[in-house]
């Protein structure tokens, strides 16, 4: 059992593995460097604005040693995404499937876009923005927001979560997926 708190800002980082490169094309090193320059700038701004530490959660296939170099003064973790989402004050993401936990927990979510991350990440992030109604920000933009109004907008976006949950996460209500599969198999094949 994990306690639900609002102790930290969580970034669900992009994984530049072979599969991503196959989908999005090879990334130029200078673009990856620019991407991480702007990401660090944004997460440090949010950390200072809300006086919260930042935890960067990386994909299980990602390179932890490399990511620690990209985030030199920030805690970077692997295989601890769910636990950190439970502790999130705000979840920052480019469109990770781990957002499902954040939506179910009714966490504040901000979708990030990067001109340096490839079209596939932009598409996935935009998909969450459209279907869930999440707020979004390009990482190259200067953060010029009123911190209280910004939190209010993030909280307002949470009003869309129940519709998304009903449509995409639990379209069959409280029925458990594996039970439905067993029932359907029995009905169709074992009369």
pTM: 0.85
Q: How far is CA 148 from the centre of its chain?
A: 22
Query: pLDDT by residue (tens digit) across 99-147?
Result: 999 999 999 999 998 877 666 666 566 777 788 999 999 999 887 888 9
**Dihedral pair phi/psi, residue 45, rounded to 5°:** -60, -45
Distance CA 157, CA 99 (A): 14
- 90: its two tokens: 């705000």
pLDDT digits (tens, 9 = 90+) for 36-69: 999 999 999 999 999 999 999 999 989 999 999 9
C-alpha to C-alpha distances, 35 to 80, 123, 138, 182, nearest whole angstrom: 23, 17, 11, 46
Q: What is the DSSP letter of 165?
A: I
């Amino acid at each position: 059992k994990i306690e639900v708190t609002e102790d930290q800002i969580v970034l669900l980082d992009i994984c530049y593995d072979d599969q991503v490169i196959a989908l999005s094309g090879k990334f130029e090193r200078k673009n990856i460097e620019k991407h991480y320059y702007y990401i660090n700038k944004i997460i440090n701004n949010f950390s200072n604005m809300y006086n919260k530490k930042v935890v960067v959660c990386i994909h299980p296939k990602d390179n932890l040693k490399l990511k620690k170099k990209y985030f030199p003064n920030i805690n970077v973790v692997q295989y601890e995404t769910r636990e950190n989402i439970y502790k999130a004050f705000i979840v920052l993401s480019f469109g990770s499937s781990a957002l499902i936990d954040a939506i179910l927990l009714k966490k504040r979510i901000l979708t990030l876009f990067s001109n340096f991350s490839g079209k596939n990440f932009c598409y996935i992030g935009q998909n969450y923005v459209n279907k869930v109604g999440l707020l979004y920000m390009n990482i190259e933009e200067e953060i010029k927001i009123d911190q209280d109004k910004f939190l209010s907008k993030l909280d307002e976006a949470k009003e869309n979560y129940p519709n998304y949950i009903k449509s995409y996460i639990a379209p069959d209500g409280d029925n458990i997926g594996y039970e439905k599969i067993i029932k359907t198999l029995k009905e169709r094949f074992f009369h």
